[in-house]
């Protein structure tokens, strides 16, 4: 599964792969594989990314165009 939005969100925040990887506590090469869809992202890391970018998980993985969930 390709996660284009994690790349888009990173680039919109003017962050490098190395910076996001460090925040997640993983190697940059692993994070790169997540962005390119060569490796599945563990749910815990997806939650961290959604929290960091302040978006819903559904938005982050491309299931909706809405960044926030209705509350």
Q: Which residues of 13-36 are buried (b: 16+ CB within 10 A; e: fewer)?
A: eebebeebbeebebeeeebeebbe
- Contact of 52 with 23, CB cutoff 8 Å: yes
How does pLDDT run along the chain (71 residues), one tens digit per residue? 668 899 999 999 999 999 999 999 999 999 999 999 899 999 999 999 999 999 999 999 888 877 776 55
Domains defined for the chain, CATH in brackets = 4-60 (1.10.260.40)
Which residue, 21, 15, 16, 69, is CA-closest to 45?
Answer: 21
pTM for the model stands at 0.86
């Amino acid at each position: 599964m390709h996660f284009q939005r994690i790349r888009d969100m990173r680039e919109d925040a003017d962050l490098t792969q190395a910076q996001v990887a460090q925040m997640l506590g993983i190697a940059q090469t692993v994070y790169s594989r997540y962005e390119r869809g060569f490796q599945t992202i563990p749910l815990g890391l997806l939650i961290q990314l959604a929290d960091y970018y302040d978006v819903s998980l559904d938005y982050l993985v491309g299931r909706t165009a809405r960044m926030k969930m209705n509350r």
